[in-house]
Amino acid sequence: MEQLWFTKILNHYFGKMTTDILLRLGIQPAHPNSPINNAVSMELLAVLILLIFFLVVRSRLSVENPGKLQLTVEMAEEFVSGQADQIIGHGYERHRSFLLALGFFILLSNLLGLIPGFESPTATPAVPLGCAVATFIYYHFYGIRHHGGHYIKQFLGPMLALSPLMFAIEVISHFARILSLTVRLYANIFAGDMVTLAFFSLIPVLVPVAFLGLHLFVALVQTFIFVTLATVYVGMAVSEEH
């Protein structure tokens, strides 16, 4: 696969160091001279952009005269907070930062493919999988932290006689969440990228603009679905009703 210009820069400056680290961990990179692939470089770019974005927002915080960037972030925060309050309920504030960070990262990753010379990292299976696994670990961690050893009761069902069967079903269903989150995000963003690329190559003016709008819509919807499901899973993990 052809390397993007940003990937070439990362491999030029950090490729050797990355290969050495991977070898020390017992991992043999497929391409030792260029161990950083496009998906990883786009992930790092998304994180870098978000860091700069929030540093700029923080430097311009104002109560009397908030700017457009501050208002945008506040709107996103209010939306996620309102949704978390409805779904999770008491104590939702603890999870707001994770849900916001997850949402901003996925949205930016989805939209990077609209910029010439970049790709959407979420159009590569490993990136949505990483987000899904992070969500999986996060809500189980807080489920255990909230309930302690009693968290296992969520997996056993209401009838003791059926507990072994319910435990197996619940374990499978929880791991299925990882697959569901991964495939849904990856498939939609990959398809959006391919459709946009195909129409740009066939009809380079006017018509592709409509597909850019469609891609933007899909990026927003998929971010909303992922964050909503993550919120639901957190709410179920810390719920007092079993």
Domains of the chain, residue spans: 68-238
pLDDT digits (tens, 9 = 90+) for 15-52: 999 999 999 999 999 899 999 999 999 999 999 999 99
The pLDDT score that the predictor gives to residue 162 is: 86
Of 184, 88, 198, whose CA–CA distance to 132 is shortest?
Answer: 184
Segment 100-147, tens digit of pLDDT: 999 999 999 999 988 888 999 999 999 999 999 999 999 999 999 999
Angle, alpha carbons 79-81-83 (nearest 5°): 70
Tokens of 209: 């603009």
Between CA 118 and CA 111 the distance in angstroms is: 10
Length of the chain: 242
Among the listed residues 94, 82, 119, the one whose alpha carbon sits nearest the alpha carbon of residue 224: 82
Question: Which structure tokens are listed for 30?
Answer: 């497929």
Instruction: Say what the pTM is.
Output: 0.93
Per the CB < 8 A criterion, the answer to whether 145 and 237 are in contact is no
137: exposed, middle or buried (Cβ count in 10 Å: 0-12, 13-18, 19+) = exposed
Q: What tokens does 40 get?
A: 């990883």
Position 186 confidence tier, pLDDT thresholds 50, 70, 90: very high
Average pLDDT, the chain: 92
| CB-based burial label for 152 (10 Å; 0-12, 13-18, 19+) | middle
212: DSSP letter: H
pLDDT at 206: 60
